[in-house]
Amino acid sequence: MKPVKIGILGLGTVGCGTVNVLVRNGQEISRRAGREIKIVQASARDLDKKRPCSTDGIKLVADPREIVRNPEIEIVVELIGGHDVALELVLEAIANGKHVITANKALIAIHGNEIFAQAQKKGVMVAFEAAVAGGIPIIKSVREGLAGNRIEWIAGIINGTSNFILSEMRDKGADFADVLKEAQRLGYAETDPAFDVEGVDAAHKLTILAAIAFGIPLKFKQAYIEGISRITRMDVQYAEELGYRLKLLGIARRAGGGVELRVHPTLIPERRLIANVEGAMNAVLVKGDAVGPTMFYGAGAGAEPTASAVIADLVDVVRTLTADPNHRVPHQAFQPDALTDTPILPIEEVETSYYLRLHALDRPGVLADVTRILADQQISIEAILQKEPSIGEDTVPVIILTQRVKEKNMNEAIKRLEKLSSIKRQVARIRLEHLNADWK
Ligand code: NDP
Ligand code: HSE
C-alpha cells in the first residue's frame, strides 16, 4: 500500500521530537498503522536554524500555507502554537479536506467548537491527544476507555512547568525565577511562560477535558483561573507541617446543576498519590461512577513524550482513513448532536475547604473575633495553628484550616477579617481538596 503523506507545521521542540520518533520507530509505527507514514513537507520560520532533528528527505518551507495547500498531503500536523496563525492554517487544511493533528491546547480550548463543526462538515478528523498532559493518553482514556461511565470529576496536575517550579521550590529552596528559566531551557514552558505560571495553559487543558468528560461545548472563557505566582514559601512550609502538599490543580466537576471548571493552587493531603507527583510530570485523576477513581501519570511536557501522543493520533487517523466519517470516534467523545449546554458554575458557587493565613496582633480576644466572623458565615474550623512571630514582627501568623464552604461565604468572611484592627496584612487563602474516593 502507498505511504500516507503528511506535512508538519512547526519544527520546534514538539515538531523535531515528532520527526525523531517517527524516524526511529518508523517500522513499528507502520506495523501498527497498516501503512508507512511519510513526512513529505515541514515548515519553520527560520530555515537556516540548526535543529535537533534530521530533515533529510523532507522538503522544508518557510510558508506553512504551502503545506495546507499541498494536494499530496493527507494529514497536517500543527505544531506551531498560539491561536491566530494556527487557527487560519487548521481551518484552511480542513477546508482542503485534510485531517488535522494538533498539540495546541490554546487553539482547541478557544476555537475547538468552530474547528470541530468545520471538520464534521468536511468529514475529516481533528485529533488532539498531545494537547492535554503531554505524553499521557488521557484523551483516549476518557473518550474511549471510560465510555461506560458517568464521569463525576477530574482533578489533574496538567501544567508541567508549574509543577516543576513548585517541586524545585519545595525540595531545593530554589528561587521562582531561576526554576522558570530552567523549565524554559528544557522546552517545557510555553512561548509566553505567563501562560504556565498564571494557570492559563492548565485552564486550556481542563476546558478540553471537561468537554470530553461531560459532553459539553468548550467553554474556556468561563473557567476560573488562578496561577502560582503569588504562592509564598511560607505557605508551602506551613501546609507541609499540617500534612498537605501544594499543587496547581485543574478541577472539573459536576455539582449543583452545573459544572465546576477551575484552576488554582490547591492543598492536597500528602498521602494522596497525586500529591507526590513531582517535577514536570503530570497526573490526572478521573472519577467515574462505575470504575471509581483512576489515575493517569506520565511526562506532561517535552519533545519526545509529546511526540508520543502526536504519533498515537497519527496512527489512529491512518487506521480510520477509509472509515465512514459517521463511524469514527466523535471529536468530543459524545455525538455532536448529543452535547448538553450545562452551565459552568461561577467560582462564588463552588464549595471547597480552605487554608487561611492571618497575621494577628498577639493580644486577648483576637481569635474570638476571628472565629465569630467565620461562624457568622457558616464556616467550620478543622484546625487552627498559631506560629511563632518572626523577629521584629508585632504580629503572629495564624493558620486556619476550614471545612467545605461556598466561596461567596469565604469571600465575605475574609472581607470582614481584613477590617479587624487586630488583623494586619491581607488574609492569604488557598483552596484545599481532600480528593477522597467518595467525593461526588
Ligand atoms: P516551539 O516554539 O518550540 O516551536 C514552534 C515552531 O513553529 C517553530 O518551528 C517555529 O519556527 C514555528 N513557528 C512559530 N511561529 C510561527 C509562525 N507565526 N508562522 C509559522 N511558523 C511559526 O513550540 P513547541 O514545539 O514547544 O510547541 C508546539 C505546540 O505544542 C504548542 O501548541 C504547544 O503548546 C504544544 N505543546 C508543547 C509541549 C512542549 O513540551 N513543548 C507539550 C505539549 C504541547 P522556528 O523554529 O523557525 O522559530
Ligand atoms: N507548557 C506546558 C507545560 C507544555 O508546562 O505543561 C505541555 O503542554
Q: What angle do CA 220, 266, 399 make, to 5 degrees?
A: 140
Ligand 2 center from residue 78 Cα (angstroms): 16
Output the pLDDT for position 67: 98
Grid coordinates belonging to 204: 486550556
Q: What is the pLDDT of residue 100?
A: 98
**pLDDT of amino acid 412:** 98
CA distance 407 to 276: 27
User: Is any atom of ligand 2 closer than 6 Å to the C-beta of 129?
Assistant: no
pTM over 0.75: yes
> Can you give the pLDDT at residue 162?
96
Domains detected in the chain = 4-135+303-332 (3.40.50.720), 138-299 (3.30.360.10), 351-432 (3.30.70.260)
Atom of ligand 2 nearest to the CA of 205: 8
Is the beta carbon of 42 within 6 A of some atom in ligand 1? no
Concatenating the DSSP letter of every residue in 5-21 gives EEEEE--SHHHHHHHHH
Q: What is the pLDDT along the chain (440 residues), one digit of tens a residue?
A: 899 999 999 999 999 999 999 999 999 999 999 999 999 999 999 999 999 999 999 999 999 999 999 999 999 999 999 999 999 999 999 999 999 999 999 999 999 999 999 999 999 999 999 999 999 999 999 999 999 999 999 999 999 999 999 999 888 888 888 889 999 999 889 999 999 999 999 999 999 999 999 999 999 999 999 999 988 888 888 999 999 999 999 999 999 889 999 999 999 999 999 999 999 999 999 999 999 999 999 999 999 999 999 999 999 999 999 888 888 999 999 999 999 999 999 999 999 999 999 999 988 899 999 999 999 999 999 999 998 877 777 899 999 999 999 999 999 999 999 999 999 999 999 999 999 988 98
Task: Specify the pLDDT at position 349.
Answer: 97
Within 10 angstroms of residue 121's Cβ, the number of other Cβ atoms is 11
Q: How confident is the model at residue 170, as a pLDDT?
A: 87
CA of 273 to the centre of ligand 1 (A): 32
Of 341, 342, 438, 433, nearest to 155 (Cα)?
433
Is 205 one of the annotated active-site residues of the chain? Answer: yes
**From start to end of 67-147, where are the E strands?**
75-78, 99-102, 126-127
**187 pocket-lining for ligand 1 (C-beta < 6 Å):** yes
pLDDT score at 135: 96
Q: Which three cell numbers stand for residue 437?
A: 474516593
What residues contact 162, with CB distance under 8 A and at least 6 apart? 196, 197, 199, 202, 227, 228, 248
Instruction: Determine the Cα–Cα distance for residues 287 and 68; give it in Å rounded to an integer.
Output: 39
Q: 308 CB less than 6 Å from ligand 1?
A: no
CA of 190 to the centre of ligand 1 (A): 9
pLDDT value of position 382? 95
